[in-house]
Amino acid sequence: MIKVSHEVPLSFLDESRQFNNYDYCLPHLLDQYKAYHDYFVKSKELGRYIVMDNSLHELGKAYDKDRLLHWVYELEPDEFIVPDVWENMNQTIINARYWIQIEFPEKTTKVAVAQGKNQLELANCIETFKLLGYEKYALSYGAEFYNEVGTYSPNKDLSKMFGRIDTVNHLHKLGVICNTDRVHLLGCSLPQEFGFYENAPYIESIDTSNPIMAAIELKKYGMNGLFTKPKANMNTEFTKSLNIQQQLYIKHNVELFRKINNL
């Protein structure tokens, strides 16, 4: 079964345990908000599965190395996404070589994110990760080249969605992605993407705030999902309170997210 987690604003963290299969942690927020820190301390006590990101997407670059290590040692997440560099294959591989050598808590699996400007560079990343000893790797949703390889559409969000689908399928056909691999999908352009991986045993987990951000904008999922990506994001919405209508839309979108993707 694919494990799913949706990042939510600070005020909705406790409720998120009711629908998230695991807790997705953004480490820079641990330093900024005591309530966020306390939530993950409680999750650890409850035995919740925790995946810790490196906050690249939110900050534009990976969070401070020393702070990342501090939180890895304190929370002992089940998985930690080692620092990568956006669309930069060479620097991402250099980082992967560095982080694989660092001693981590025994329970923590290191996850590397494939980065690059085309499918070949993603393939090189994945193959290098395997040689380095990484047990799991991730693919982001937002690579610019997805719009070039995806099914053509004037709708850039739809094209980007199909770009990652086509890239995953292409790398699988080449044997770069194997059925026995463990793959995490970071975010999404549109929520209906994940139904296209129904026969992809290598997809182990996904995280996306899409149903939450759509609800904040009072956008309701239909049976075909959405056709435009919400503009709201965790940077702009994290500390805002949610009204009753937004909370009801979250419940609707989260339930429909699983239904339209056969999860």
DSSP letter (8 states) at residue 3: E
CA dist 173 and 135 (Å) reads 20
Percent of the chain with pLDDT over 70: 99
53-71: pLDDT as tens digits: 999 999 999 999 999 999 9
Residues 61-90: what's their mean pLDDT? 98
Mean pLDDT of 4-30: 98
Q: Are 241 and 8 in contact (CB under 8 A)?
A: no
pLDDT in tens, 147-167: 988 776 789 999 999 999 999
Quickly state the pLDDT bin for 177 (edges 50, 70, 90): very high
- Token pair belonging to 162: 């199909």
**Which contiguous run of DSSP H or E holds residue 97?**
helix 89-100
- Which pTM does this prediction carry? 0.96
Task: For residue 88, give both structure tokens.
Answer: 């930069």
Domain ranges of the chain: 3-209
Q: What are phi and psi of 113, to 5 degrees?
A: -100, 125
Nearest-angstrom CA–CA distance, 156 and 231: 14
Do residues 158 and 190 lie in contact, with contact meaning Cβ atoms separated by under 8 Å?
yes
CATH-assigned architecture of domain 3-209: Alpha-Beta Barrel (3.20)
